[in-house]
Amino acid sequence: RGPSRDALLEGLNEPQRAAVMHEGAPLLVVAGAGSGKTRVLTRRIAWLISERRAHPGSILAITFTNKAAAEMKERVEDLVGKRARIMWVSTFHSACVRILRKESDKLGYKSNFSIYDAADQKRLMTLVCNDLDLDPRRYQPGALLHWVSNQKNELRDPEDATKDARNNLEETYAAAYTTYQRRLREANALDFDDLIMATVHLLQTFPEVRETYRRRFRHVLVDEYQDTNHAQYALIHQLCADNPEDLDSTEERVEPAELMVVGDADQSIYAFRGANIRNILDFEQDFPNATSILLEQNYRSTQTILNAANAVIGHNKGRKEKRLWSEAGDGDRIVGYVADDERDEARFVSEEIDTLVDEKAARPGDVAIFYRTNAQSRVFEEVFIRTGQPYKVVGGVRFYERREVRDALAYLRMLVNPADQVSLRRILNTPKRGIGDRAVACVQALADRDRIIFWEALQRAEDAPGLATRSLSAIQAFVAMVQELQSMVDAGERADVVLESVLARSGYLTSLEESDDPQDETRLENLAELVAVAREFAEDPLAGPSADPTDVEAGIVAPGLADFLERVALVADTDQIPDDDPDDQGVVTLMTLHTAKGLEFPVVFLTGLEDGVFPHARALGDQPELEEERRLAYVGVTRARARLYISRAVVRSAWGAPSHNPGSRFLDELPVDLVDWRRTEAAQAQWGRPDLSGSAGQRLGAPTVAGRRNFSAAAVRADAAARAKPAREIPSLEPGDRVLHDSFGMGTVVALEGVAEKAVASIDFGSEGVKRLLLRYAPVEKL
Ligand code: ATP
Ligand code: MG
């Protein structure tokens, strides 16, 4: 029983078949994006089970994500049935956990060891810094952890690190590593990097254990091999190399497992996590009798998309030239759009999706939106929430659920409502300011005794029984800070101004800025986003995260902090959208370029193509980093099957100061005839929109001869779309004027603030109450 030979080889070209049927020597399949590497790997597993009678339990297949593992398993099960279930298809980390749960006693761990995530690691390393009395200005836990992680990826234990320390700094780092590792052990815990390193050590130290697994895994297959680090390479080597050095001559030799790895050096995008591109480049040296197979035909994308990908990646130096081709035909040209700002960009994307869906050219589930950094998802999320477009954010927490965003909002909530205990307690010692659990307990005791709220008890902390002097002064400093911030709120200060003061005064920003942890950099970006949201809200409450369209219609204006928080709460609440809608149309997918690896979508929007955004600012002056960014661009472009959109914003807001970014240099690397620019910066000027390009943004998004040909019609359409926002004649009013409002009826103007676009009128509508209305939107007519 089982599938026929033909069924297993169906839909494969010659070199693909050769890879599936290959026997014996280690096999490397190198090929560009979309050439069927993952398909070949999956088919080969089915082939091994079905044709070569391999026991499913003897197969170990490694994927880059758990999701990819689940999909691969499902595909194999479809082909050969349920017995495939017992094979190991997983990430490196999951495979190592399985091995370690069995063998951990040999390494001195109990089998119920904990696995520490990033937050746990951070907490632990902070303790270590205290243990060693390290100067917090010189040694941040994040930086120490990053260093430790690199050591582990290189399989260097604390002794190696200590022995090789060349100066004071390295000695201190090594000491921190030593203590950190000791504390992990005391907690019976392993961190993520340990999982791999400990498994390698296990196999190296206990040949009999290694032989057990070598005997067990007769077939090892690795997808995305270009992104393996040294420790992962060593693990593969332990299982598959011909002659493990230390094998006792009396022991029975086990034939090495058959190894197949697939990858694409042009898609190596995790160097910052220790991935080593040399692993794939040196495969033939590492496994001397290796064979390699090249795949060149792409089955995913149109030739237009491939030409774009080839052109961009061609700018990287020292790579093996390979040219992808496809039989899918040229397909549509790439669509380009230069937006005024990130909101305009999101609106363009949203409208374009609507059009595709209306014309039945795509379902929402066919569409993916990529961006360089997590924070960029926010504007898209808000536009989709407003238009009711279901979406999901893959890999990465939704914006309003992120820790730093919740922390910042907790500060604001607590300022508005000091009785909000949850918020108050959340930030009481965030960032750390010396108000520990003991101090909190003392204050709580006071609150209980005198039956007062926690905030009041904090203000009277000197009465708290048993409170240490140090804690008392920490609490008093905190109370003073909160009172100062509250007075800003009472004075009616704008939400963005309050938020910026909160982040600065609380020390929250400083604690992130001083850290070298790359995650903290992301957190800063997210907070910058939140400040931008608040600023936008303060300046134009209707453009903010409005979840209530009736507000927009009625033109109710409420720019205070409390209203801002309410709007945000609503957005955060409607955030819970189910993954799939009942009509099985799927939902639009948002993700960073890094998470997009290995996936494909009929329609792809590649957004934020600006120098300083993508490529990332950090990479602008650094050739290797720039090349990694370019590989990321190559990954992004090659995810698209039929339609690719590229866009950028002339102005992008962050931290209150909008920045004018020139177009991404990757745009200039695209052949001009491939792109149909729906809108360029030139279009903006020509069609009378405010020219925001400033002096920094002069470089055009490569307007092309071909682009100009159908320029005017497209530009008019794009311009009309961009103006979809309601705009109306602003009535000129004076206090005392009588007005008629579409829903509130007759009213009398009592006060006016702001001018022109920003003019706000307070109008007394009698029984409807006094409303503050932004006149640009409010449907009022002067009588
Ligand atoms: P990436 O580098 O992005 O991971 P890949 O090399 O792993 O890409 P796959 O995802 O395996 O490529 O394949 C790309 C697409 O082409 C998939 O939709 C796959 O089903 C299809 N495909 C692969 N080989 C063939 C073939 N011989 N005939 C038809 N379709 C194919
Ligand atoms: Mg793949």
CA distance 94 to 100: 10
**Inter-residue contact 21 to 301 (CB < 8 Å):** no
35 a known binding residue?
A: yes
Q: Is residue 34 marked as binding?
A: yes
What pLDDT shows up at residue 671?
95
Please tell me whether 596 is known to bind a ligand. Answer: no
- Closest ligand to the CA of 20: 1
**Predicted local distance difference test score (pLDDT) of residue 654:** 67
What are the structure tokens assigned to 740, written together? 């008629």
What is the pLDDT, as a whole number, of residue 711?
Answer: 30
Residue 336 near residue 678, CB atoms below 8 Å: yes
User: What would the pLDDT profile of 72-106 be if each residue is shown by its tens digit?
Assistant: 999 999 999 988 888 999 889 888 988 998 898 99
CB 600 within 8 A of CB 641: yes
Question: Encoding tokens for residue 97?
Answer: 């956990």
User: Cα dist. 59→52, 109, 252, 614 in Å?
Assistant: 12, 27, 22, 40
Whole-number Å distance, alpha carbon 295 to ligand 2 midpoint, is: 12
**What average pLDDT does range 513-540 have in this prediction?**
81
Separation of CA 150 and ligand 2 centre (Å): 26
In this prediction, residue 52 carries a pLDDT of: 95
Pocket test for ligand 1, best of 38, 67, 305 (most atoms within 8 A of CB): 38
Tokens of 162: 């200590």
The pLDDT of residue 747: 82
- Mean pLDDT over 558-586 rounds to 58
What residues are in contact with ligand 1 under a 6 Å CB criterion?
11-13, 16, 31, 33-39, 264, 267, 299-300, 598, 600, 638
Least confident segment among 378-382, 446-450, 453-457, 644-648: 378-382
Instruction: List Cα–Cα distances, 3 to 6, 9, 41, 47, in angstroms.
Output: 8, 10, 17, 9
Most informative mutation of 299, 302, 310, 634 for ligand 1 (most atoms within 8 A of CB): 299
Pick from 66, 621, 612: which is nearest to 376 by CA?
612
User: How high is the pLDDT of residue 117?
Assistant: 66
What confidence score (pLDDT) does residue 252 get?
64
| Whole-number average pLDDT of the chain | 83
Neighbouring C-beta atoms of residue 388, cutoff 10 Å = 9
Question: How much of the chain exceeds pLDDT 90, in percent?
Answer: 51
The whole-number pLDDT of residue 757 equals 63
Over residues 216-234, the pLDDT tens digits come to: 999 999 999 999 999 999 9
CA distances from 368 to 90, 333, 508 (A): 25, 18, 34
The pLDDT of 50-63, averaged and rounded, is 95
pLDDT band at 183 (very low <50, low <70, confident <90, very high): confident
Ligand nearest to the CA of 299: 1
CA 62 / ligand 2 centre spacing (Å): 12
Contact 20, 43 (CB under 8 A): yes
| Pairing of β 760-764 and β 588-592 | unpaired
* Closest CA relative to residue 92, chosen from 196, 237, 229: 196
Eight-state DSSP code of residue 225: G
Instruction: Please tell me the predicted confidence (pLDDT) of residue 571.
Output: 57
Return all residues near 157 (Cβ < 8 A) that are at least 6 apart. Answer: 151, 181, 197, 201
**CA 137–ligand 1 middle distance (angstroms):** 50
Residue 31 annotated as lining a ligand binding site:
yes
| DSSP string for 676-721 | EEEE-HHHHHHTT-----TTTT-S-S---HHHHHTHHHHHHHHHHH
Task: Give the catalytic positions in this structure.
Answer: 37-38, 223-224, 267, 639
**Token pair in block for residue 273:** 């996590």
> Which residue in this structure is represented by tokens 């001018």?
755
Residue 256 Cα to ligand 1 midpoint, Å, equals 29
pLDDT surpassing 80 at residue 716: no
Q: What is the pLDDT of residues 486-522, one digit of tens each?
A: 998 888 888 889 999 999 999 999 999 887 766 777 7
Among 573-587, 592-606, 637-651, which is the least confidently predicted range? 573-587
Higher pLDDT, 212 or 697: 212
Q: Looking at residue 604, what is its pLDDT?
A: 98
How far is it, in rounded angstroms, from Cα 542 to Cα 549? Answer: 9
271: left (phi over 0), alpha (psi -120 to 50) or beta: alpha
In order of 110, 305, 542, the CA distances from 547 in angstroms are 50, 37, 10
Asked whether the beta carbons of 341 and 651 are under 8 A apart, the reply is yes
Residue appearing with tokens 């910058």: 528
Q: How many residues does the chain have?
A: 783
Ligand nearest to the CA of 596: 1
Q: Looking at residues 398-414, what average pLDDT do you find?
A: 85
Question: Residue 640: what pLDDT?
Answer: 97
- 50-59, 176-185, 519-528 — which is least confidently predicted? 519-528
pLDDT at position 753 over 50: yes
Helices (H), 207-327: 207-216, 230-240, 278-281, 283-286, 303-313
Query: 129 versus 690: which is more confidently predicted?
Result: 129
Residue 408, helix vs strand vs coil: helix
Token digits for 608?
């934020």
Residue 201 in 3-state DSSP? helix
Structure tokens at 218: 């007769």
Nearest Cα neighbor of 335 from 575, 38, 601, 604 is 604
58 annotated among ligand-binding-site residues = no
C-alpha 350: how far from chain center: 20
* Protein residue with least CA distance to atom 20, ligand 1: 39
Across the range 431-453, mean pLDDT stands at: 92
Protein residue with least CA distance to atom 23, ligand 1: 36
Provide the whole-model pTM.
0.70
Please say whether the beta carbons of 741 and 779 come within 8 A.
yes
The residue assigned the tokens 């006094």 is: 770
- Taking the CA of residue 40 as reference, the ligand 1 atom at the shortest distance is 11
In this predicted structure, what is the pLDDT of residue 756?
Answer: 67
